[in-house]
Amino acid sequence: MYNKSKKWFIIVLMSISACATAKDFNVSQQWPDSVFVFKAARDHVKGHTDGQIDKLAKSKDMYQCYREPVTVRTNSGRIVVLCHAGNRHAWPERSGQDLASAFSDDGGKTWSTPIVAAEDGNYSLQSHGLVYDAQKDRLICLYTVYRWDYSLAKGRGVKASAPAIQQQIDAGEDLNRQYMVTSDDGGQSWSKPVDITVMMPVKGGNGHFGACEGRQITVGKYAGRLLVPGGIRCEEKAGSVTEKTLHVWISDDHGKTWKPSSPVIKTKDTRQYSCEARVTELPDGTLLYNVRTRYKGRQLAASRDGGQTWTPLKVAKDLKATQCNGSMITLLDADGKLTDTLLCSLPTPGGRKQGVIYASADGGKTWPIRNDIIPGFFAYSALVQIDDKTVGLFYEDNHYRDIGFVALPIDSLIKN
């Protein structure tokens, strides 16, 4: 017999243990100060004029919350960051989101005025993946649009959204579709959306792109291939998820078409596994995949054929973290060559707070170094290497209202 009380007892014990582990958080050195790249009800965002205003707003071109930063560095050294921009903080979580972007040409000291990269009215843009094609000097963003009016929802979750979802079903409309936007000028402007739903391999499957940075392979026979972690969520008509396939989206034609890799995992345990992952490249051409789970910790898989197939997932015991999206990058040396040193940013166990950066010197086999960086609220994050001496860290702050940024010295992050 299924024992609900036993399950919740185990979960409570795990939560207590996680909270206890987080007590050793200690910012032991003076890190540089953070700045806000996106701040709710402060930043005017060019292109946002739909007039969704609540009590926090000061004008029609301000957003009330910013979530899920993703970032890349271009050939020129420009740092580009995209995030979800929420129209109204009073709506259900992730309601009516657009995509907003900004960039810096001075290593994060100053930032451009944010602009709208993509939007779809009161529909919500979610699950975005950003990848940079260095061969074409092109930014590519894949995303899903949830096609029901969240302003009609009364509260959070599937039940609260049910009337709006039913309205779409009754009209014979798709509940979600997938799109792509690109930029050929370093994020100063973005193309009109291109519908890529036809490339989803499962009819009615909800394509996800993991709130992540993708990767362009740089070494070996697959050099030039574009990868974006994500998956497919199979849903019932009412919007409930019944199965997930986690994989990597692959393009061998500079983003014109996309196809899924073989599954990293296919599961009906939809609460356990997330389509949110990061992928990075090692000097020998191996790809490392790092995914969030609910109660089983961070898990890693590897590919030696350009992301087409993956080893079974294995728990990364050194990466102690709460259930949340995280970021992972391979550091480059002064000549721009891949090293075996990796960084991974996560919140500590016990809740979305206390941001840390783990370091690995052996290609992700072990992560012995933990740097305690950000006290207080810390949720989704994104890492980017600015130069051979500096790494940038973006993170959600102030309970999902703002996106903070801090530039950190690499030497301090990788020392015991």
Segments making up each domain of the chain, as ranges:
40-320
8-state DSSP, 161: H
Q: What is the pLDDT of residue 137?
A: 98
Closest CA to 381 of 365, 368, 397, 370: 397
HSE-up (13 A, CA, CB side) for residue 81? 35
CATH for 40-320? 2.120.10.10
Count of CB atoms within 10 A of residue 3's CB?
Answer: 9
Phi, psi of 132 (to 5 degrees): -110, 125
Whether the CB-CB separation of 319 and 310 falls below 8 Å is answered with no
Cα 138 → chain centroid? 19
Which is more confidently placed, 362 or 175?
362
Residue 15, pLDDT score: 39
Contact status, residue 154 vs residue 236, Cβ threshold 8 Å: no
Give the integer Cα–Cα distance in Å for 239 and 221: 41
Q: What are phi and psi of 317, to 5 degrees?
A: -60, -30
Q: What is the DSSP letter of 413?
A: H
Average pLDDT score, the chain: 88
**In the prediction, which pLDDT does 120 show?**
93
Q: Position 98: which residue type?
A: D
Inter-residue contact 386 to 332 (CB < 8 Å) = no
Is the pLDDT higher at 161 or at 338?
A: 338
Q: Among residues 61, 93, 98, which one has the least CA distance to residue 83?
A: 98
Please report which confidence band the pLDDT of residue 29 belongs to, taking 50, 70 and 90 as the band edges. confident
Q: Once rounded to an integer, what is the mean pLDDT over residues 199-224? A: 88
Each residue's pLDDT tens digit, 18-27:
343 467 899 9
161 φ/ψ angles, rounded to the nearest 5 degrees: -90, -5
Q: Is the pLDDT of residue 375 over 80?
A: yes
Classify residue 152 by its DSSP letter: G
pLDDT band (50, 70, 90) for residue 86: confident
Rounded CA-CA distance 157/160 in Å is 5
Residues 172-191 have a mean pLDDT of 95
Give the 3-state secondary structure of residue 44: strand
Half-sphere exposure of 208 (CA within 13 A, CB side): 21
Lowest-confidence pick of 43-57, 123-137, 387-401 = 43-57
Q: pLDDT at position 121, please?
A: 86
Q: What is the pLDDT of residues 356-368, one digit of tens each?
A: 999 999 999 999 9
* pLDDT, mean of residues 187-195: 98
Is the pLDDT assigned to residue 80 strictly greater than 70? Answer: yes
- The model scores a pTM over 0.85: yes
Beta-carbon contacts of residue 214 (< 8 Å; ≥ 6 apart): 129, 130, 131, 132, 140, 226, 227, 228, 229, 249, 279
Interatomic CA distance for residues 223 and 200, integer angstroms: 24
Which stretches does DSSP call E strand in 317-401?
327-332, 338-347, 353-360, 369-377, 381-387, 390-397
Structure tokens belonging to residue 237: 């008509």
The answer to whether 410 touches 331, Cβ cutoff 8 Å, is yes
pLDDT on residue 205: 66
d(CA 104, CA 107) in angstroms, rounded, equals: 6
Q: pLDDT of 101-160, one tens digit each? A: 999 999 999 999 999 999 998 899 989 999 999 999 999 999 999 888 887 877 777 778
In contact, 381 and 45? CB cutoff 8 Å = no
Reported in sequence order, the residue ranges of 241-326 that DSSP labels E, i.e. its strands, are 241-251, 259-260, 265-267, 273-281, 287-293, 299-303, 314-315
Q: What local confidence, expressed as pLDDT, does residue 7 receive? A: 38
DSSP string of 4-26, one letter each residue: HHHHHHHHHHHHHHHHHHGGG--
The rounded distance, in Å, linking the Cα atoms of 300 and 314 is: 5
Q: Work out the pLDDT band at 76, boundaries 50, 70, 90.
A: very high
Q: What angle do CA 407, 325, 16 make, to 5 degrees?
A: 105
Q: What pLDDT, in 10s, does the model give residues 311-346?
A: 999 999 999 989 999 999 999 999 999 999 999 999
Look at residue 90 in the predicted model and tell me its pLDDT.
61
Q: Which residue type, as a one-letter code, is found at position 168?
A: Q
Longest Cα–Cα distance in the chain: 61
Share of the chain above pLDDT 70, in %: 88
Highest mean pLDDT among 38-47, 164-173, 257-266, 382-391: 382-391
